[in-house]
Structure 1
């Protein structure tokens, strides 16, 4: 058993060295990002509009307003964030000059704010969290592997923490605040690590689902107990033969109207107009603004506006519901403000673990050197005395 624990400790220590810096960065940026909606709502006036209690302007009108002044630009994504929130048009500038996010009043069409997403503090924090500001493929892989290592660290940490005797349980669950600072640091690493493990595992798994397709598919398959739902995987296409033969300018308006009728209680809508010849118009109708779990999904023929498919939240498989819930779980908002606070505290503890763990290692290393030095000095004295 002692040899086993030593092996676990060795793996825990060196895996911590390998992933520690990345885990700290990912965790601390996760803390900052948890309350990004609340903070931005408080400091940015353009994230709110007066509710005029009348229908929104059609998406074709808002899209045209959003593209004004940007010749050659295109826009495939649009949001209606809610009755008291703006609409948003994601403008892709020509010649790979980047993108702009144009906010508009959904009732008047007036542009209220234009923003380069890469200049938004929280978008930068998100990119650090996801990619460490490296190229997405490289950064995503580095972060993903580090999170996998962190999951192993949590498991090995629980094994190392587990009390040998029942009488040790109370001591293992409390921090000895009146002890020496090294003891307090030791307890902070072990006790807080134990309390945060359950939430941290959820954050790690949902994060891996964002980073890796295989994790997302694994969650989907597991939640569905292996049962297949081919209708959810079906790829829908528009009839490209109709391209150029019909006036498609107002088709998206027709599609949006149908989605509003089909989901009258939805607070937020995401519209995606696939620019490819056989692409479709996709609309997601979300039950709550800025929440991405409960949604109805629509697909429309882009040349005629014919509805090709509607999948309500109730019709979705358990696996699809779990994948839809992923973001809300990851930031804690699935449980509202309480969930965000829990996610924030768990992320903060995760950020502290590489630091407290390194201090523990450093202390043992110095203690080992000190002990070795005393033994050498003792042998030298003994030798001089001729004993």
Structure 2
């Protein structure tokens, strides 16, 4: 059994090492995506004009008037003090071709007081990598590998990393088993003595697996780092691996499995089939109308938290409104803000996402991204996840080094065996 598990761990590690090294390093960086972005694109962020801020729905119309190829699909309602407002845009359909216009940007920054455009960029673009998009490039690389759309889907990279996460999740248990000391057999002792001796021997033999012997050889230190880091952080590694699987294979695997175990409340996106990208559902309700409706609905529910953002999903015909104070969308802990959903054609309510409310399955589903990103614990969680990204990268490198050294040793032994046979069977003992 141990030999089988060793082989499984070896192949799982080799298959996932490069992916996990990339995911670990990028995850350590994107835990601070908002802060890094603010530093790199400060000229898009800082605003010195006097207020008050204009309504964000009015600013969205300005963007669309300036470039009629673009349609605003995401906006914030209130800026942070001294900062701009940014808007996500998507290309409209070109009547001449029936296809989407080609835009070289998808995000626009405006002065909320004057409506002046401060900058634009393509969030998550592959090339060229500039100071304006480097953080978003790493963010998309982390979960999608930037694999482009083909065969009618743009989720191939997401699915591939989901499969890697499944292998990683299973390997968490395999690797833990391999740290346990092999069982010892003992005869000629009374059962009570055997039990006591076995228990003492087990803990005594397992203890070195938790330690790093700094006085050993470079290879021994590398091996101890791989094993000890994996043990000390095992629970966090498993949680990160599992949530990576649940997020990347949500519709393909996680949601269907969840429904067989426990009912959870599906979001409106799960109850509708998306249209083709070149056949968007044109909204008949404006952002201004949806925001006004959401503000009234929030008051009727007794919420004191204001509307923080609104978005429209063109392929689903759904407005999503989130409730948070300026700045809390990227720094607050918990499972995310409250959300209400509305139909884009007639404005009727389609459902709600209420944090920490619903069945146990609802809360479990809500927690997947906040747990994976560490944001469920706020700043502390982000620090932990950033550190764990470095741990994952280190485990990937040390694991490959262990495999390489063992492989080189096996090849060297085989070469000595062949040499020994050709010399008439004389073979010096291996070190």
Q: Smaller-chain TM-score range?
A: 0.7 to 0.9
Q: Does 1:217 align with 2:222?
A: no
Q: Deviation of residue 343 (structure 1)?
A: 1.1
Q: Does 1:282 align with 2:320?
A: yes
Q: Deviation of residue 101 (structure 1)?
A: 0.9
Query: Conserved in 2, the CA contact under 8 Å of 1:297 and 1:312?
Result: yes
Aligned counterpart, 1:350: 392
Query: Conserved in 1, the CA contact under 8 Å of 2:54 and 2:114?
Result: yes
Q: TM-score, normalised by structure 2?
A: 0.73
Matches within 5 A, 1:169-318: 169-212=206-249, 213-217=251-255, 221=259, 226-227=262-263, 229=265, 250-258=288-296, 261=299, 265-266=304-305, 269-273=308-312, 279-286=317-324, 288-290=328-330, 291=332, 293-300=335-342, 312-313=354-355, 315-318=357-360
Choose the corresponding residue for 1:143, options 161, 177, 181: 161
Aligned counterpart, 2:69: 72
Q: Does 1:122 align with 2:135?
A: yes
State the distance in 2 between where 1:346 and 1:187 align: 18
Choose the corresponding residue for 1:97, options 96, 102, 112: 102
Taking a change above 3 Å as real, the CA distance of residues 19 and 294 of structure 1, as seen in their structure-2 partners, is closer
State the distance in 1 between where 2:358 and 2:212 align: 45
Q: TM-score, normalised by structure 1?
A: 0.81
State the distance in 2 between where 1:79 and 1:106 align: 10
State the distance in 1 between where 2:285 and 2:157 align: 43
Q: Deviation of residue 111 (structure 1)?
A: 3.1
State the distance in 1 between where 2:344 and 2:37 align: 35
Which secondary structure state, in structure 2, belongs to the residue aligned with residue 114 of structure 1?
Answer: strand
Q: Deviation of residue 252 (structure 1)?
A: 3.1
Q: Which runs of 5+ in 2 are unaligned?
A: 93-99, 149-153, 183-201, 273-281, 427-431
1:206-227 Cα offsets, whole Å, 9 max, x none, are: 22222112454268658xx724
1:175-223 Cα offsets, whole Å, 9 max, x none, are: 011111010011111111222221122112222222112454268658x
Q: Deviation of residue 309 (structure 1)?
A: 5.3
1:59-85 Cα offsets, whole Å, 9 max, x none, are: 431211222320232222222365435
State the distance in 1 between where 2:388 and 2:343 align: 45
Worse overlay, 251-260 or 362-371: 251-260
Aligned counterpart, 2:35: 38
State the distance in 2 between where 1:380 and 1:274 align: 72
Q: Deviation of residue 371 (structure 1)?
A: 3.6
Which secondary structure state, in structure 2, belongs to the residue aligned with residue 97 of structure 1?
Answer: coil
Query: Conserved in 2, the CA contact under 8 Å of 1:60 and 1:252?
Result: no
Q: Deviation of residue 87 (structure 1)?
A: 2.8
Which secondary structure state, in structure 2, belongs to the residue aligned with residue 289 of structure 1?
Answer: helix
Taking a change above 3 Å as real, the CA distance of residues 86 and 152 of structure 1, as seen in their structure-2 partners, is same
What RMSD in Å do the two structures reach over aligned CA positions? 3.6
Which secondary structure state, in structure 1, belongs to the residue aligned with residue 214 of structure 2?
Answer: coil
Query: Conserved in 2, the CA contact under 8 Å of 1:102 and 1:111?
Result: yes
Choose the corresponding residue for 2:118, options 100, 112, 117: 112
State the distance in 1 between where 2:85 and 2:359 align: 30
1:331-367 Cα offsets, whole Å, 9 max, x none, are: 2122122212211222212122232122112222232
How many correspondences in the alignment? Answer: 370
Worse overlay, 246-255 or 363-372: 246-255
Q: Does 1:162 align with 2:162?
A: no
Query: Conserved in 2, the CA contact under 8 Å of 1:58 and 1:253?
Result: no
Query: Conserved in 2, the CA contact under 8 Å of 1:332 and 1:342?
Result: yes
Query: Conserved in 1, the CA contact under 8 Å of 2:88 and 2:108?
Result: yes
Q: Which runs of 5+ in 1 are unaligned?
A: 237-243
Q: Does 1:339 align with 2:366?
A: no
Which secondary structure state, in structure 1, belongs to the residue aligned with residue 147 of structure 2?
Answer: coil
Q: Does 1:10 align with 2:52?
A: no
Taking a change above 3 Å as real, the CA distance of residues 268 and 24 of structure 1, as seen in their structure-2 partners, is farther
Taking a change above 3 Å as real, the CA distance of residues 216 and 270 of structure 1, as seen in their structure-2 partners, is farther
